[in-house]
Amino acid sequence: MHGATAAGAAFGLPAIWVATALLVATYAAVISERINRAVIALFGASLMIVLGILTQEKAVEGIDFNTIGLLIGMMVIVAVSRRTGMFEYLAIRSAKLVKANPAAIMLMLQIVTAVVSAFLDNVTTVLLVVPVTLVICDRLGVRPYPFLVAQVFASNVGGTATLIGDPPNILIGSRVGLSFNDFITNLAPAIIVIQLVACGLFYVIWGRRFEATLRARAKVMAFDERNAIVDRGLLVKSLIVLACVILGFVLSRRLNLEPATVALFGAATLLLLTCIGRSADDQTRTVSKTFEEVEWITIFFFIGLFIVIYGVESTGLLGILANKLVAATGGNLRVTVFAVLWASAILSSIVDNIPFVATMIPLVKDMAPAFGGPDGLMPVWWALSLGACLGGNGTIIGASANLTVAGLAERAGIRFAFVEYMKVAYPVMLVTVGLSMIYLELRYL
């Protein structure tokens, strides 16, 4: 409970009912996708205040500025550094490393996507790597669809490995107080295995049947990746800042800095470096162009969602649900971990994992007494992260990266149908969650 103004809820109804109705309505509206999700979240958040569940002051308290700051900071860093052409360079270099063999290119692009996604959010990663993938496939004369599906997977899998790779992890890390290193040491070993297995499965499903003519392969080998780098000065600055930011995340505990501070400090430093020596007008243009590339829809969606969930949390509903969940699993840690893993995976394959995880966090926190305090909950957090992040791979609507790639593909004239995607993706997703289950069992239970 957070001491909100629950007693003042509208219409004389108990606050817990009003808050629950608002949460359900917000979820339903987000799932229906009829109205932009940021608008829905902000509308739900405003109603939480207007209907007296929260005061404005309490609502602001509910916003996790660590998550917001981390997202904005990383978005600014990407917006500046992508202009160097470094992501095109990476993709082309990796394609040429394997002599433009299509199956090997698919493997390399999955690895590049997974690694980039571990440090940038998934949607940003696919927006950076998919266009250049399409150009490579176009020149190779191979069907791009398998490459895109494999990259969707890699972005969701790779993002699970770190605190900053996927919004559910950012949320869990921030609200539970887990560090960058906690995520790397607990999740990265599982993710490396899962990604390699996924690469193998996609090779069996598609890769082994790829064919490209020698002439087409020569076309790709003739790409000059050095020409992809359009601003060497900015490249050096971006790489230095990126390296410092990642080092900052690793050392954040020791430096006593929150991840948001590290990311925003990095963003401010990179912007400072790009502004030095330029005219005032030029600076304004560059800075405003950079801020335009921040995904404000995601940011405002988070802000609204935090308030809606804080409202529900303040009425005690999530505590009641947590007790029911503990009772249902008989207080058994193994049953709870596996239930959270599979329920998160199945639910995240059909609904956005961000509101789901944001709701689960306070609920899981309330389960701590049943498992001997916060430390006893650690396997549950890893199960929540693995389930929510990997489950998103199951369907086109399971994660934002999937929808983004499907949208890009459709615009480029590549069919990306719901059922066709699910036929391949759902079984592969179940394999990845099964591997997570084995990992959790072997390491924590």
Partner 1 sequence: MACQEIMNADPPVLHGTDTVGKALSLLLERRYLALPVVDSERRYLGLFAKSRLIGLMLPSIVALEDVLPKIAQMTDLAYLSDDIDDLRARFAALRDRPVSEYADREAPILKPDSPIMEAVLLIFRTRNYVPVVDPASRRLLGIVSTWDILAKLEGDK
Q: Contact, 318 vs 359, CB < 8 A?
A: yes
Of 80, 106, 116, 132, the residue at the interface with partner 1 (CB under 8 A) is 132
Q: Which is nearer to partner 1, 65 or 291 (CB)?
A: 291
* Residue from 47, 161, 308, 408 in contact with partner 1 (CB under 8 A): 408
**H or E segment and range at residue 304:** helix 296-314
- Site residues for partner 1, 162-221, by CB under 8 A, read 219
| Interacting span for partner 1 (CB under 8 A) from 60-68, 103-111, 173-181, 411-419 | 411-419
- Tokens representing 402? 């999937």
Q: Is 212 left (phi over 0), alpha (psi -120 to 50) or beta?
A: beta
Q: Which residues of 59-95 are buried (b: 16+ CB within 10 A; e: fewer)?
A: bebbbbebbbbbbbbbbbbbbbbbbbbbbbbbbbebb
Minimum Å distance from CB 128 to partner 1?
7
**String of contacts with partner 1 for each residue 269-308, x by CB under 8 A:** -----------------------xx---------------
Of residues 50, 230, 236, 335, which one binds partner 1 by CB under 8 A?
Answer: 230
Nearer residue to partner 1 within complex by CB, 183 or 223: 223
- Cα separation of the two ends of the chain: 31
Q: Which of 2, 30, 20, 17 is nearest to 355 (CA)?
A: 30
The correct pick among 83, 175, 217, 365 for binding partner 1 (CB under 8 A) is 83
- State which residue, 6 or 120, has the beta carbon closest to partner 1: 120
97 touches partner 1 (CB under 8 A): no
Phi-psi region of 52 (alpha: psi -120 to 50; beta: other; left: phi over 0): left
Number of residues engaging partner 1 in binding (CB under 8 A): 33
Residue 130 contacts partner 1 per CB under 8 A: yes
CB closer to partner 1, 31 vs 134: 134
Q: At its nearest, how many Å lie between partner 1 and the CB of residue 201?
A: 26
Min CB(390)–partner 1 separation in Å: 25
Q: Which amino acid is it at 25?
A: A
Residue of 170, 146, 157, 168 whose CA lies nearest to 114: 157
The only residue of 26, 117, 124, 432 in contact with partner 1, by rule CB under 8 A:
124
196/216 with CB nearer partner 1 = 216
d(CA 426, CA 419): 10
Give the single-character DSSP code of 83: G
Q: From 187, 220, 167, select the one nearest 356 (Cα to Cα).
A: 167
Q: Quick one: 263 or 390, whose CB is closer to partner 1?
A: 263
78 lines the binding site for partner 1 (CB under 8 A): yes
Query: Least distance from C-beta 75 to partner 1, angstroms?
Result: 9
3-62: contacts with partner 1 (CB under 8 A)? none
| Closest CB 407 distance from partner 1, rounded Å | 9
Report how far residue 321's alpha carbon sits from residue 303's, in angstroms, rounded to the nearest whole number: 24
In this chain, which stretch among 83-91, 192-200, 345-353, 430-438 interacts with partner 1, using CB under 8 A? 83-91
Are residues 437 and 199 in contact, defined by beta-carbon separation less than 8 angstroms?
Answer: no
* Whole-angstrom distance, CA of residue 240 vs CA of residue 230: 17
Q: What tokens does 89 get? A: 């360079």
Asked if 134 interacts with partner 1 (CB under 8 A), we say yes
413: alpha, beta or left? (left if phi > 0; alpha if psi -120 to 50):
left
CB of 230 to partner 1, least distance (A): 5
Q: For residues 344-383, which are near partner 1 according to CB under 8 A?
A: none
In terms of CB distance, is 15 or 408 closer to partner 1?
408
Query: Do you know the residue count of the chain?
Result: 445
Could you list the residues that contact partner 1 (CB under 8 A)? 78-79, 82-85, 88, 92, 124, 127-128, 130-132, 134-135, 138-139, 219, 222-228, 230, 292-293, 408, 411-413
